[in-house]
Structure 1
């Protein structure tokens, strides 16, 4: 259900009284955290012996955000920042709810594969919508009317860059759209190459996902896609790498021929970066970050309280440094590092080769999401934040299932040897 709410309901549509925390996916994530907490409060059977590092790191980050919130509420916070602080706390609880529910609530690898497949198919369909938006120059989703939801943004229109349409799918902004695509791109490639069944479907979905990354005309999306591909290619053989290079060059040529101007515009995003106002805004923000950080370096000013009227940082790490201080940012970095290590552990421990490939693809996906935080305020957009934290939870589940299966196999082998010794 969460994947449907995250991807099918346009991000700008919210429950108005809840403000920025009123996205249906955020509400569902909060419900997921409550469900997870209730399960652990009332269960009578002991939990897993393994400490679940991803779950612990996620809960540790949530405790850090709670400390930040308590500090902010005890500080002379401006009146117009109190509601954003409340919303920020709710969003953090929901994001951690995604992690712990996916980590603990995925019972088998079959279920794990199904969740990954649904995320991949959902993003693939959103990519198709993005291609249609580019082709028709119409947003379409702005015509939706969902009872109980209202448009939470004032400028819900197709944006342009250098005269070219930038699709956004069901996301709030083309950058968010591109970042979500790049996080799922390594999963799409892995399923297209390695899936035991329906490879034709995943190859069909891979095409619009890759094309929509180009059409988003986003520097952040291109850089995150490169990170995802480099991490993914580490596990490939030389033959597969060569094939991937040929396919990439071919796809680039197709984009050049069928969508004139897109590659040139993307190229100028990098070659003309020195004169790009968005780059200048990012570099000019360093002094502002230093000023705010010096006021409260440990616990920050409150998660979600650095309003856009102060400055648009376009950097999730710097934003969290201001809002959460060293404690908040350190907790997030620890969560990301723990997740990357957990994905590597799952890859080594998984018995089935396809589960190993999926674990590595999840590692690449989380690496792309972590990269996006350096170029884009992920936490300000529910679709990108929800996708990133869901992937973190899927990594935790992959590690837990792989180690459980390995332990079960070892125990069975020991019991078999003992039986053979008794019989002998």
Structure 2
């Protein structure tokens, strides 16, 4: 008789080697999707709500931006996932800007600092890290023109949110953003509506009406591009609605910077448009002005009066009075300044000019870095326009040049780096311009999106 164990061995099925589990290839995480998540946080969440201990640098948008930089840097460690493909001038611009800020930080440590200034200097590095992450991921991560167009469309859609919120604030006088913050965040600044000449000055989800106005002026050219070149009749109506929303909310900020920024954008765009486009734009602008005069009596006159008294009103004379104080401070620390983000209004004085503020905080080296950052957007957009082979792409490049021109002008009217939304938007637009330049000069296969 055979034992039970022997019978089991006899009747057992033949041994089959285990199949090795097939590993699916890792999918890349699309940078446009991640940046779109950043846009939701940037435009939908009120910018004045922050993570308490971090202050101004602790906004959720800034934290996501820093994670973008970490993601970008980790991706460069792998030859397979690296986003560093081909020539990308934005990298050099960002490195120069970051080094100038770091040099000012080192210079700040050589002088006596109050605890408030020291905290501001540390948090300033967090801000710069986030700005670098936004620009680099956008410039190197967008793989082709289709994804670039998707991001452009989402930027415009995101910019429509603060415009819509601003219109509600303007007509109702209700600060609805107090109901839009996530639990656990704290207010960093007053949640009240400003007033000027009897009108509410809405901020939307930005921190100040000036910031809102300049952001909308910078985004408006991109909105116009999408509406002009939209081929779907139904989608075209929605895109023109967003153009109207942004253009209508812009003067409601009752800000000279916003209105002059709009004029700057149009000066850049109009000469490149077809004659029939220019005529149509002038007619629409005139009709819109008449409608706004009827629906909101006094608003257009107030805005035009603010522009006409530039140089003679108290606000202008106060700003020009800053020059002597700035020159005296810069001569003490001319090269690297007193430290990025350390010129606090509570300790020193308010400086409504980012060029002057950069001269104070980062010295002449930092001012050069700022000018390089702003002019890079213009130069790369113009070069992309020259390299483009179709009219639609050429127009997009010109629209990005117009947005850069708005920033070049607007940074001279307020301390832009003290306001989170405009700073993030301008570094995002620089990255978008860098991506367009890369795609037009080296083609869509020149870069691969970073890996997860």
Q: Same fold (TM over 0.5)?
A: yes
TM-score normalised according to structure 2 size: 0.87
Structure 1 segments (4+ residues) deviating >3 Å: 44-50
**What is the distance in 1 between the residues matched to 2:185 and 2:84?**
40
Distance 1:284 1:109, change over 3 A: same
Q: In the TM superposition, what is the alpha-carbon distance from 1:42 to its structure 2 partner?
A: 2.6
> 1:300 touches 1:322 (CA, 8 Å); kept in 2?
yes
Q: In the TM superposition, what is the alpha-carbon distance from 1:60 to its structure 2 partner?
A: 1.2
* 1:145-156 to 2 correspondences below 5 Å: 145-153=181-189, 155-156=190-191
Deviates more, 1:368-377 or 1:142-151: 142-151
**What is the distance in 1 between the residues matched to 2:96 and 2:168?**
42
**What is the distance in 1 between the residues matched to 2:90 and 2:409?**
19
Structure 1 or 2: larger helix share?
1
**What is the distance in 2 between the residues matched to 1:372 and 1:55?**
24
Which has the higher Rg, Structure 1 or Structure 2? 2
Q: Find out whether 1:13 has 2:49 as its counterpart.
A: yes
Q: Find out whether 1:201 has 2:227 as its counterpart.
A: no
Query: Structure 2, unaligned stretches of length 5 or more?
Result: 1-36, 447-452
> 1:349 touches 1:406 (CA, 8 Å); kept in 2?
no
2:32 aligns with: none
Deviates more, 1:266-275 or 1:159-168: 266-275
**What is the distance in 2 between the residues matched to 1:202 and 1:335?**
30
> 1:64 touches 1:331 (CA, 8 Å); kept in 2?
yes
Deviates more, 1:198-207 or 1:187-196: 187-196
> 1:68 touches 1:300 (CA, 8 Å); kept in 2?
yes
**What is the distance in 1 between the residues matched to 2:133 and 2:174?**
35
Q: Find out whether 1:345 has 2:345 as its counterpart.
A: no
Q: Deviations over 1:119-175 (max 9, x none)?
A: 10111132122112111111111123412211111x211111011111111011111
2:94 aligns with: 58
2:248 aligns with: 211
2:339 aligns with: 302
TM-score normalised according to structure 1 size: 0.92
Question: Paired residue for 1:162, among 169, 174, 197?
Answer: 197
Q: In the TM superposition, what is the alpha-carbon distance from 1:354 to its structure 2 partner?
A: 2.1
Deviates more, 1:297-306 or 1:62-71: 62-71
Q: Aligned to 1:297, what secondary structure does the other structure show? A: coil
Q: In the TM superposition, what is the alpha-carbon distance from 1:332 to its structure 2 partner?
A: 1.5
> 1:344 touches 1:360 (CA, 8 Å); kept in 2?
yes
1:78 aligns with: 114
Question: Paired residue for 1:252, among 269, 272, 289?
Answer: 289
**What is the distance in 2 between the residues matched to 1:336 and 1:166?**
28
> 1:128 touches 1:208 (CA, 8 Å); kept in 2?
yes
| Cα RMSD (Å) | 1.7
Q: Aligned to 1:160, what secondary structure does the other structure show? A: strand
Q: In the TM superposition, what is the alpha-carbon distance from 1:83 to its structure 2 partner?
A: 0.6
Q: In the TM superposition, what is the alpha-carbon distance from 1:66 to its structure 2 partner?
A: 1.0
Q: Deviations over 1:102-129 (max 9, x none)?
A: 0011111111111110010111132122
Question: Paired residue for 1:109, among 145, 158, 168?
Answer: 145
* 1:367-382 to 2 correspondences below 5 Å: 367-382=405-420
**What is the distance in 2 between the residues matched to 1:296 and 1:264?**
44
Q: In the TM superposition, what is the alpha-carbon distance from 1:349 to its structure 2 partner?
A: 2.0
1:416 aligns with: none
Query: Structure 1, unaligned stretches of length 5 or more?
Result: 409-424
2:398 aligns with: 360
Q: In the TM superposition, what is the alpha-carbon distance from 1:41 to its structure 2 partner?
A: 2.0
**What is the distance in 2 between the residues matched to 1:103 and 1:189?**
22
